[in-house]
Amino acid sequence: MTESQLQNRINRELKTRGWLVNKPVTNSFNGMPDLHCYKEGGVTLFIEVKREGQKPRPLQLYWLQKLKNMGFMVYTISSIEEMNNMIHELENESYH
């Protein structure tokens, strides 16, 4: 599965669960995650999507860690299994 196909699948799965999913066309911050996701109640998460077997580049790791340190939920997804695990976590998360 290509990175684009996986992004589309994540997008569809989250939208059916009430998330607004945005893939910025241009980004003023190189290395920011691929998908920015929002849910009612002010919940925000960021997803870096990689082709299976690939890892985030150093600049991507910088932004992923910075966003985590700021209190955002951050995921790196490279397979359907990881996507399903993320969705399971999100469905069991209690939001304020």
Q: Which residues contact 52 (CB under 8 A, 6 or more apart)?
A: 1, 78, 79
For the entire predicted model, the pTM comes to 0.92
- The Cα–Cα gap between 52 and 65 comes to 21
Q: What is the DSSP string of 16-43?
A: TTT-EEE--SS-SSTT--SEEEEETTTE
Q: Does domain 3-91 have CATH number 3.40.1350.10?
A: yes
pLDDT at 84: 97
Q: Half-sphere exposure of residue 29, counting CA atoms within 13 Å on the CB side? A: 12
The domain segmentation of the chain, as residue ranges, is 3-91
pLDDT digits 0-9 by tens, 56-80: 999 999 999 999 999 999 999 999 9
Q: How many CB atoms lie within 10 A of CB 13?
A: 17
pLDDT category of residue 25 using cuts at 50, 70 and 90: confident
